[in-house]
Amino acid sequence: MKGAIFDLDGVLVDTAVYHFAAWKELANKFGFEFTEADNERLKGVSRMKSLEILLSVGNIAASDKQKEEWAKEKNERYVKMLENLNENSLLNGAKQYLTKLHNDGILIALGSASKNAPLILKKTGIEDMFDAIVDGNSVSKAKPDPEIFLKGAELLGLKPEDCTVFEDSQAGIEAARAGGFSVVAVDKFNVLKNADRYITQLADMLII
């Protein structure tokens, strides 16, 4: 491995729970239950695609304009939940593993679908630990399309086969696979498949 590309939500930072909470509030407002199993399908995919999946679970049809408004509403709820985010919100072993890779001369990129990535990196104080950043503001195709990771590798000046992707979503694993990367699944609940290796948290990578 010459480069490591990290997903953000659920891999480096404990924000996946807030995404779920904000979507659940929206579903409850519409009058239907949104379960953790439903939420698994939203992980890694873009905000608008997530809304479309949620609406299909609730069997709700809407115009594009209405969808824009609901996506905005969800994001406002979510960003409010991010207010108290700080270094303690980093997941177990995340900062230590980034530091170890850096010290070992491995190049590090972010490969996240989130448009809130800059805010999250700033609040958790890890923005300077990346050699390249690709997020929802700089790509047009969402995971499972490999664009995010291919762009990350390109910015690092590396080939996909020399990089490992760290992901907690099935869409992200498929994106990494499609791009020709090896992939480590951060699979706390034993629900992911098609990865090269499975860990429960990045702290597992520090155990020799």
Q: Which residues are annotated as catalytic?
A: 7, 9
46 binds, among ligand BG6, Mg ion, none (CB under 5 to 8 A by kind): ligand BG6
CA 121, CA 105: separation in Å to the nearest integer? 21
Give which of 86, 89, 83, 139 is closest to 110, Cα–Cα: 139
C-beta of residue 40 within 8 angstroms of C-beta of residue 20: no
- The DSSP call for residue 75 is H
Residue 115 binding ligand BG6, by CB under 6 A: yes
Residue 9 binding Mg ion, by CB under 5 A: yes
Residue 168 binding Mg ion, by CB under 5 A: yes
- The DSSP call for residue 9 is B
C-beta of residue 139 within 8 angstroms of C-beta of residue 114: no
Residue 146 binding ligand BG6, by CB under 6 A: no
Residue 174 binding Mg ion, by CB under 5 A: no
Binding residues for ligand BG6 restricted to 45-104, rule: CB under 6 A: 45-47, 50, 75
Chain residues that interact with ligand BG6, rule: CB under 6 A = 8-9, 19, 42-47, 50, 75, 112-116, 136, 169
